Structure 1
């Protein structure tokens, strides 16, 4: 068996970031909040005295079995710049009905807009409209709308 389970975001303030995704994208918390520590966690992460806190959020448009967005915080985190063209995971994407409204909500909730709203005709697939935004901690999010 193989199943995609979750995407993890490490947050400076997991509660604040989790609230952002709940408010802007309608994500729902599932399962208990996590407060994990112990030798097993240090062995798994390679971080001495590792301690993580956070929760899993059910993403909009998926079943109750996930996948989820896992938002965790460590007491000590490494800060890094994130860019659309950086190597590794770049962004998560949400299809929305009203890009302008969600862009405004992102900004209202502490995020920011990265680029301009653009549209492109993909032939039989439809016309896609896109923009990149950042959550309050700088993680990249692609907003998209399709006209078919």
Structure 2
């Protein structure tokens, strides 16, 4: 078995328009495709990151809330690789996003911080070198 990369991460949101605005306007992700599936009363929005990884944003009528804090079993958070955590933090805060103070990973020495999407999904920005981003 040889896994090559992550193709996509799927996120279910409670307010489609609010989340669409957050991911496209606040975070600046590019829209690949958008579809409304009437039989499911659901929107599906495919978004692209620079490396080809995709986020799928779904809406469903009355989705249940996240069961508990990030330490619940399952996806803990989604981390984006960035070249400059401090700049991203500043950009997000200028757009009204609350961002935690920057921390340093005790094992790698890399800077990172967390913020949340409109539904409270924990999102991380993790600083990597330019050479790491090219991989």
Identify the TM-score tier after normalising by the shorter chain: 0.7 to 0.9
> Hey, what does 1:84 align to over in structure 2?
70
> Hey, what does 2:81 align to over in structure 1?
95
> Hey, what does 2:48 align to over in structure 1?
58
TM-score by length of 2: 0.75
> Hey, what does 2:104 align to over in structure 1?
119
> Hey, what does 2:124 align to over in structure 1?
142
Q: Which whole-Å CA distance do the structure 2 matches of 1:54 and 1:79 have between them? A: 19
Runs of 5+ unmatched residues, structure 1: 39-49
Return structure 1 stretches of 4+ with deviation > 6 angstroms: none
SS in 1 for 2:89: helix
Q: Which whole-Å CA distance do the structure 1 matches of 2:31 and 2:68 have between them? A: 26
Which of 21, 25, 28 lines up with 1:26 in the alignment? 28
TM-score by length of 1: 0.69
Runs of 5+ unmatched residues, structure 2: none
Max radius of gyration: which structure?
1
More strand by share: 1
Q: How many pairs does the alignment contain?
A: 128
> Hey, what does 2:19 align to over in structure 1?
17
Q: RMSD over aligned Cα, in angstroms?
A: 2.8
Whether the 8 Å CA contact 1:106–1:112 is kept in 2: the answer is yes
Q: Which whole-Å CA distance do the structure 2 matches of 1:15 and 1:26 have between them? A: 15
Listed one character per residue, the Cα deviations across residues 17-75 of structure 1 (whole Å, up to 9, x for unaligned) are 122222344311112x111133xxxxxxxxxxx3211311012222xxxx310111112
